[in-house]
Structure 1
Amino acid sequence: MNSIKSPRAYSRYAQEAVILLSKQIKLGRKQRQWSEQHLAERAGISRATLQKIEKGEMNCAIGLVFEVAVLVGVNLFEPGSADGLSRTIEHTNDKIALLPKRIQSKPKTIHDDF
């Protein structure tokens, strides 16, 4: 029995966010006057992978996309230095620590009033 996977559905917002990031990466590369091959070598990826990132393909590894973005100067999450992200990570960890460690599904209530 063959099972054919249907393509993953992404929200419109996620698709547009990836397109925006991919265009910012391409813009940053071109502003630096770097070829695709040069940026790919700097990032340690193939030129084909860089082309997928710049086209906004949704199946590229997020670590690779972020690394390429950083190399061309795209600010991720907030403008400024990397220590700004460290503070945000600490703040987020503090919030997570205040929440329950495990989240369980709420039991379904059965209405058996006939």
Structure 2
Amino acid sequence: MTEWQKLEHAKQAFHIHRKDDQLFAFAGLWEHWEHEAQTLYSCTIITTAATALMQPIHERMPVILPPAHYRDWLNKSATEDDAFQLLDNSAYTDMTTTAISDYVNNPRHNDERCLW
């Protein structure tokens, strides 16, 4: 994930990733419904207040699910209360941030150098 910190005269891009560089998942919602003979799809990423790690960069952040909670989040039998308990980022400390170059700011750049 990349986020930009607003500075006085510029923006600094940060690569936010797990300390072990493994993939991670955001909590999100997806649904579809029928409308005038069309199927409409909708999705959203759930956000929350920033953790101490993220606060210097941005005031909010996506809810990041620890791998141990992936199945719980996708469990169709889970209650609303079960889901709300998974939305607390404060205990998840496996993330880190790395300042990266402004190369990422050019939309034509779409390669691994965006994370350097």
- TM-score scaled by length of structure 2: 0.22
| Bigger strand share | 2
| Bigger helix share | 1
Bigger relative contact order (CA 8 A; separation at least 6): 2
